[in-house]
């Protein structure tokens, strides 16, 4: 048992940019990286362990062989519960919505998606669409998709570095261009697109929309508050979000901080700024901006040293 350094799977979606490659040390044969799946046991993009005994093996394979590394809190889920991403939105993502667990299990044989966004950096005036300005009907929503005016109905939230938004399943949303985001979400790739600005994919075909399903799962009454209610936990820790799927914190590291991976849960650690090292059982594990580690449940205390901002997640 030791801190696993993870190599992310990367995605080159049409709206991606170059920041993850140039400033966050992500590797890809493509010039564009839209997303890096930092902590992933999802078959569409599994993380690979880069160090130690398990080097070259996927995180999913190691957790399958050593389920205790997930912790007792993960036992209530049929598979690894979360997915951690870095996202570089050079241009707007599609207007989309994710179903809740009940709908997704019944219709897609997988879980839905509730997620949290931490704004790592952003351009001036950048923002996100999140929920509606005021409640609408399903008929109004569908008509706006036909005539291309859906964004007029949506709540645009201008964001700043360090902001945090919690996006429950059923909330229409879109990350807009100029944002780099750390996203913690349920372990699901289930997304329904409502509107995509008329864009085409690499083959020149319009990207697929999922109008009927999207309208069916959208909470049209939801008017979303711009930011999650964060809480100062002391010792440089800010609680960003908590729900039945994950709890996520920001740790401002200025010297030393103790992270604890108890028997109840693993801890994921993504460095979004700065550098440092972990000290565990007398060994040192360096990290820098863009690096992500997985601390197995039961590892106990892991000391972080350096000057950095870390986003952590656990179940």
Residues 49-72: pLDDT tens digits?
A: 999 999 999 999 999 999 999 999
| Per-residue model confidence as pLDDT tens digits over 156-201 | 999 999 999 999 999 999 999 999 999 999 999 899 999 999 888 7
For position 123, what pLDDT does the model report? 97
pLDDT for 229: 78
Would you list the domain boundaries of the chain?
4-217, 231-314
Query: Could you list the active site residues?
Result: 193
Establish whether domains 4-217 and 231-314 are of one fold.
yes
35 has a pLDDT exceeding 60: yes
Cβ pair 271, 288 in contact under 8 A: yes
Residue 226's pLDDT is: 56
pTM: 0.94
- The percent of residues in the chain predicted with pLDDT above 90, rounded, is 89
* CATH class as words, domain 231-314: mainly beta
CATH number of 4-217: 2.60.120.10
* Tens-place pLDDT, residues 273-313: 999 999 999 999 999 999 999 999 999 999 999 999 999 99
């Amino acid at each position: 048992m030791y801190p696993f350094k993870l190599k992310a799977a990367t995605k080159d979606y049409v709206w991606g940019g170059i920041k993850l490659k140039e400033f966050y040390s992500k590797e890809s044969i493509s010039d564009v990286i839209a997303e890096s799946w930092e902590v992933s046991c999802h078959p569409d993009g599994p993380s690979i362990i880069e160090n130690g005994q398990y080097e070259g093996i996927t995180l999913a394979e190691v957790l399958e062989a050593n389920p205790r590394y997930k912790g007792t809190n993960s036992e209530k889920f049929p598979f690894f519960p979360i997915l951690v991403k870095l996202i570089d939105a050079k241009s707007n993502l599609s207007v989309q919505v994710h179903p809740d667990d009940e709908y997704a299990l019944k219709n897609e044989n997988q879980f839905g998606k509730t997620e949290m966004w931490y704004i790592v950096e952003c351009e001036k005036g950048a923002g996100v669409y999140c929920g509606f300005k005021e409640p609408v009907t399903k008929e109004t929503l569908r008509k706006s998709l036909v005539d291309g005016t859906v964004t007029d109905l949506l709540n645009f939230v201008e964001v700043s570095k360090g902001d945090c938004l919690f996006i429950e399943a059923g909330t229409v949303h879109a990350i807009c261009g100029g944002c780099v985001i750390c996203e913690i979400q349920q372990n699901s790739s289930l997304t329904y697109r409502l509107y995509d600005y008329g864009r085409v994919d690499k083959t020149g075909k319009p990207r697929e929309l999922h109008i009927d399903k999207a309208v069916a799962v959208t909470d049209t009454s939801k008017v979303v508050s711009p930011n999650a209610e964060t809480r100062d936990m002391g010792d440089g820790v800010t609680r960003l979000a908590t729900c039945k799927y994950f709890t996520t914190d920001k740790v401002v590291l200025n010297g030393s901080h103790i992270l604890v991976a108890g028997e109840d849960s693993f801890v994921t650690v993504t460095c979004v700024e700065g550098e440092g090292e972990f000290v565990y059982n007398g060994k040192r594990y360096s990290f820098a901006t863009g690096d992500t580690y997985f601390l197995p449940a039961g590892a106990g205390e892991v000391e972080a040293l350096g000057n950095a901002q870390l986003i952590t997640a656990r179940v």
